[in-house]
């Protein structure tokens, strides 16, 4: 099929599918990945009404037969790396969106992997055979439409939208299918009688602007008409490392929130060291029950990858951002930015001893030892005492894209 040069590939229920792949006793069962909060769930659990970012207890009340498993980030990262290797085989231009989805430019590959549909089918077959996971794909002339097509193809499907059927395909879809139309914007559009993508496409931007603002109105009408000129481009090198955790308001005490912060810092600095990077800027972001947000940042005197130094800064930033309102938090995140290669770091003075990786008392040696243990035996092999949750309801950190 010509005119469909952009492929959006999206692994199906990724975390839960990895768990079902690695433990065949979970196949076909509703699976919840998480501890205190649902990080991900299988299609069987979704069919029963389970949703991500809800409490595990709430999810089990909805679906008592669900199997709850702790997240295994190393397994997901390994599976993602193998899938991205397959992406690179099928297209020279891959734009990664997250650990489990990407855009691929599949134009002009007829002599290598076939036309776009043949390329997509070959890619899906390779992922299933080599990684043991199902992946859905959408083919279209734009990123916008390819992503919608892959969502419509789930689970484990392929949908190609020919140029002469784009409007026919888009028209009946609900307005929520358009990027940027969330709960608030949806309510505004529906209040003026716009409920489908087709109705949005035919809207007058000047009228629409009265409820959405001019720039948003122009963008939404353009997308509804499949006007999306963005090409597939490889992502720039990572500019930050971070982790975040979502949880119901009031579900965690302040000391549990601080323990969660420590866990997030552990994850973020571990990834930082794994990439052989140092950070100069620590940022802590929070979200409150009323959906308002607060962000605080701090620049360090010298770049570092040490967990203790980052955690010290993060604790101060959390107190500044949340203060006495910690009980109202629903999300906590940590980001490490302003990165540079670790070879550029200068030793801090005074130097009481030669600093090297073999010195068990050298700064950062504990971090490296813990990284090694977690790399060998998983993230649960070593944890902080403050994170041992006797009630089994601790929040689960979520790695962002």
Picking from 128, 152, 154, 123, the residue whose alpha carbon sits closest to that of residue 140 is 152
Residues 6+ apart with CB under 8 A from 65: 29, 30
DSSP 211-277: HH-HHHHHHHHHHHTT---PPP-PPPPP--EEEEEE--TTSS-HHHHHHHHHHHHHHHHHHHHHTTE
Tell me how many degrees the CA angle 264-283-94 measures, rounded to the nearest 5: 75
In angstroms, the Cα distances linking 157 to 57, 73, 126, 134 are: 32, 26, 14, 9
CB atoms within 10 A of CB 272: 25
Classify residue 288 by its DSSP letter: E
Host H or E run for residue 74: helix 73-90
- Name the catalytic one among 78, 101, 340, 348: 101
- Which segments within 2-100 are labelled E, that is strand? 6-11, 31-34, 38-41, 67-69, 94-98
- From CA 119, how far away is CA 337, in angstroms rounded? 37
The residue to which tokens 């973020």 are assigned:
268
User: Contact, 279 vs 304, CB < 8 A?
Assistant: yes
19 labelled catalytic? no
DSSP 371-385: HHHHHHH-TTSS--G
Give the CB-side neighbour count of residue 390, counting CA atoms within 13 A.
0
- From CA 218, how far away is CA 201, in angstroms rounded? 10
Beta bridge partners of 281: 299, 337
Which residues are catalytic, by number?
101
């Amino acid at each position: 099929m010509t005119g469909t040069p952009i492929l959006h590939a999206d692994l199906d229920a990724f975390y839960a599918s990895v768990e079902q792949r690695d433990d065949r006793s979970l196949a076909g069962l509703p699976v919840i990945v998480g501890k205190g909060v649902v990080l991900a769930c299988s299609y069987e659990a979704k069919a029963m009404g389970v949703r991500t970012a809800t409490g595990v207890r709430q999810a089990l009340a909805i679906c008592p037969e669900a199997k709850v498993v702790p997240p295994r980030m190393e397994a997901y990262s390994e599976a993602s790396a193998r899938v991205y290797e397959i992406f690179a085989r099928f297209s020279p231009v891959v734009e990664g969106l997250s650990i489990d989805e990407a855009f691929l430019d599949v134009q002009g590959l007829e002599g290598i992997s076939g036309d776009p549909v043949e390329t997509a089918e070959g890619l899906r077959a390779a992922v299933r055979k080599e990684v043991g996971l199902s992946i859905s794909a959408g083919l279209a002339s734009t990123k916008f439409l390819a992503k919608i097509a892959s969502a419509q193809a789930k689970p484990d499907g392929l949908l190609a939208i020919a140029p002469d059927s784009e409007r026919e395909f888009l028209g009946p879809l609900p307005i929520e299918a358009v990027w940027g139309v969330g709960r608030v914007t949806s309510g505004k559009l529906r209040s003026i009688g716009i409920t489908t993508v087709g109705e949005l496409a035919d809207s007058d931007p000047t009228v629409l602007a009265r409820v959405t603002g001019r720039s948003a109105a122009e963008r939404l009408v353009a997308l509804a008409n499949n006007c999306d000129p963005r090409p597939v481009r490889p992502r720039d090198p990572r500019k930050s490392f971070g982790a975040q955790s979502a949880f119901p308001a009031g579900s965690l005490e302040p000391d549990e929130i601080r323990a969660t912060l420590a866990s997030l810092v552990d994850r973020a600095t571990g990834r930082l060291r794994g990439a052989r990077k140092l950070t100069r800027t620590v940022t802590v972001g929070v979200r409150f029950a009323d959906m308002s947000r607060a962000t605080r940042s701090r620049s360090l005197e010298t770049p570092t990858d040490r967990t203790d130094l980052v955690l010290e800064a993060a604790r101060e930033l959390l107190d500044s951002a949340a203060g006495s309102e910690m009980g109202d938090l629903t999300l906590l995140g940590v980001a490490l930015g302003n990165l540079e290669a670790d070879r550029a770091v200068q030793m801090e003075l005074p130097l009481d001893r030669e600093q090297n990786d073999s010195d068990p008392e050298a700064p950062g040696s504990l971090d490296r030892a813990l990284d090694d243990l977690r790399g060998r035996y998983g993230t649960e092999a070593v944890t902080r005492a403050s994170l041992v949750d006797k009630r089994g309801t601790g929040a689960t950190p979520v790695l962002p894209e």
